[in-house]
Amino acid sequence: MSSPSTSDVHAPQREHGHPGLALDGVGRSFGAVHAVKDVTLRFVAGERHAVLGPNGAGKTTLFNLITGDLLPSAGQIALGGTDVTTLKPHIRVRQGLRRTYQQSQLFETMSVADNLFLALRGVARGHLTLIPTSGDQVLRDQAADIAEKVNLLDAFDYPVNVLSYGQQRQLEIGMALVGDPQVVLFDEPAAGLSPAERGSLVDLIEALPRTLTIGLVEHDLDIALRLSDRVTIMQDGQVMVTGTPDDIAADPVVQRIYLGAQHG
Amino acid sequence: MLVLALVLIPTIANDFFLVQIFAQAAILGLIALSLMLLGGWGGIVSLSQMSVAGLAGYTLAILGQSSMSQSLGSNSWLAAAAALAVALIVGFGIGLLVGRTRGIYTIMITLAIGVAVFYLANQNYAIFNGFTGYSGIAAPHVLGVDLRAPLPFYVLCVSLALMGWAGVAALGRSSFGKALIATRDCERRAAAIGFHVGRHRLVAHTIAGLLAGLGGILLVWFNGRISPGTIGVGPMIDILIIAVIGGMSRPSGAFLGAFVFVLLRTFAIDLVDPERFNTLIGLVFLVIVLTSRDGLLGLLGKLSKPERRKMSPRLKTLEREETS
Ligand SMILES: Nc1ncnc2c1ncn2[C@@H]1O[C@H](COP(=O)(O)OP(=O)(O)OP(=O)(O)O)[C@@H](O)[C@H]1O
Ligand SMILES: [Mg+2]
């Protein structure tokens, strides 16, 4: 455990150049399927890092491993300098980790307000408060701020199951922006959105604070390259190449495996 | 309005109605309320809530006064407090046991727990007095008033039911209650936004234990006795039927269901012979389940606003544009 990469892992998160998120030899298999294989990757604090690759490349599985939705079968994951490999998802959230899901995971019967309220409560104290309190109003106000940010103020008091698909995707994003996030992982946030909705999504992500570490899985290559400082290409569960958007756009391997799969 | 009605009822209803219908519905409603909290909001269908009530009832009988020599004869209020504590602990214990299970497995395990408690009570003579159980259990007197006299018992049961109702309703608006509903809607997201889902469920089981225990104590005072028959599979299923008939989305459903259940059970004898009660309640159950997704609450909802559909905000925007 004395390799240079592990000393990186334990460095403080906010120091420039040190990883906000570090994966070392991370792997996960489902039976015979190696969804993620020996992935070593850094999400440096404050960087916007796109993870691209064809369907089934293991992008979502990688995010699930980072958030603790799945446990890795191999390797270590460190968040802000702390080893979180075996921690439960609700513990990792306390370290500022947030995510959106490729397939919306929302509280269907509850209102937009309550969904956001709960997301805020989840990262605050008072989980076991058994009666409504005056403090709830503070969180409700904050929920309204986030709803405004993701364009859902009109739908604030409507249950999720009457929202349009696009609105549900916006809420999915709002859920990940609550509290004081350090690392936010977006899993195909633009999938299924109209061009106009995509535009405002891009604006929203671009306007997020630069101190925030962002992981982004996105099939829309233009959006991905535009939003990111660094790009990693995955295939068959493995990292093929990591580089700047310009490098990636020019990389012959990418042309072949990714762009080929997309446009060919 | 409801409270006013409940205050006025004693002026028109006779003792039979006060006790056999209203008090009994309040008692069964409290036990069903515990299932409504677990099942309706937590998505945890537990069949053993009647067993929790029963264990509280047994505690009351064993520690308090009855005509059985096994009873320790301590003060009724102390015995009741101990019974509540037992219910709390049993609820917590059941929560620990079923915490990691979901859906049909939770139902099976809580059924097994209930059956085990039944056989334990039936076969253990040292503590539970076996098949006979305990009888001659009197409710305490307050300021010379016998709490089991019709009017005081009505007041006691109905006020505790109202408190339980109000308490659970407040719980549903609290951070805990909303997060409990969230764990039912999407457990994965609930964890992903920072909630300890297991702990939430455990607390829900414990609170449900308290409610069921309260019902169990009143039930023993109501019957004056408790025996394994009180907590058999039949009564366990009755609680489920009550909760489903009434509707599990809100606390009022539990009492609505209990009221209808008690009315049917009391007056079915006049319509069909007592043996057929289960057929009758089964039919009612079937009709309600097939016509409404949320029991009588759902039916009432449909009746009160048949035309109004939940409108999506998008539709609403369109409508606004049209009218402007
Ligand atoms: N829970 C699971 N059980 C079994 N296999 C799984 C599971 N999750 C993912 N896989 C498999 O792992 C591989 C990687 O899937 P993953 O969802 O991570 O890909 P992805 O890159 O996100 O793909 P997409 O672009 O389609 O979202 C696939 O072969 C998939 O079938
Ligand atoms: Mg995916």
For B15-43, what is each residue's pLDDT tens digit?
888 989 999 999 999 999 999 999 999 99
Q: Is B85 exposed, middle or buried (0-12, 13-18, 19+ CB in 10 A)?
A: middle
pLDDT for A3 equals: 40
pLDDT for A19 equals: 56
Is A130 within 8 Å of B181 when comparing Cβ atoms? no
What are the distances in angstroms from CA B202 to CA A34, B29, B43? 36, 22, 13
Please enumerate in sequence order all residues whose Cβ is within 8 A of that of B264, keeping only pairs 6 or more positions apart, or say none.
B277, B280, B281, B284
- Whole-model pTM: value is 0.90
Q: Is the pLDDT of residue B139 over 90?
A: no
Mean pLDDT of A221-238: 91
What is the spatial distance between Cα A3 and Cα A8, in angstroms, rounded to a whole number? 9
Q: Which residues line ligand 1 (CB under 6 A)?
A: A 30, 33, 35, 53, 55-61, 102
pLDDT band at B57 (very low <50, low <70, confident <90, very high): very high
What are the distances in angstroms from CA A34 to CA A26, A111, A234, A241? 11, 39, 13, 19
Average pLDDT, chain B: 90
pLDDT for B278 equals: 80
What ipTM does this complex have?
Answer: 0.88
pLDDT for B128 equals: 92
What is the spatial distance between Cα B122 and Cα B124, in angstroms, rounded to a whole number? 6
- Tens digit of each residue's pLDDT (9 = 90 or more) over A20-36: 899 999 999 999 999 99
Q: Is the pLDDT of residue A137 over 50?
A: yes
What is the spatial distance between Cα B243 and Cα B230, in angstroms, rounded to a whole number? 18
Mean pLDDT of B296-320: 63
What is the spatial distance between Cα A35 and Cα A50, in angstroms, rounded to a whole number? 18
Is A164 within 8 Å of B177 when comparing Cβ atoms? no
pLDDT for B306 equals: 56
What is the spatial distance between Cα B189 and Cα B202, in angstroms, rounded to a whole number? 18
Crossing angle (nearest 10°) for helices A135-149 and A112-122: 110
pLDDT for A15 equals: 43
What is the spatial distance between Cα A196 and Cα B103, in angstroms, rounded to a whole number? 41
pLDDT band at B68 (very low <50, low <70, confident <90, very high): confident
Cα B48 from chain centre: 11
Q: Is the pLDDT of residue B316 over 80?
A: no
Nearest to A67 among B179, B192, B311 (CB): B192
For residue B185, give the nearest of B34, B40, B36, B290 by alpha carbon: B40
For residue B46, give the nearest of B255, B209, B182 by alpha carbon: B209
Q: Is B196 on the interface with A (CB under 8 A)?
A: yes
Nearest CA to CA, how far is A86 from chain B (Å)? 15
- C-alpha torsion angle, residues B81, B83, B89, B95 (rounded to 10): -120
Region for residue A55 given its phi and psi (left: phi exceeds 0; alpha: psi -120 to 50; beta: otherwise)? beta
Q: Is the pLDDT of residue A12 over 50?
A: no
pLDDT for B308 equals: 47
Match 């009221």 to its residue by tokens.
B259
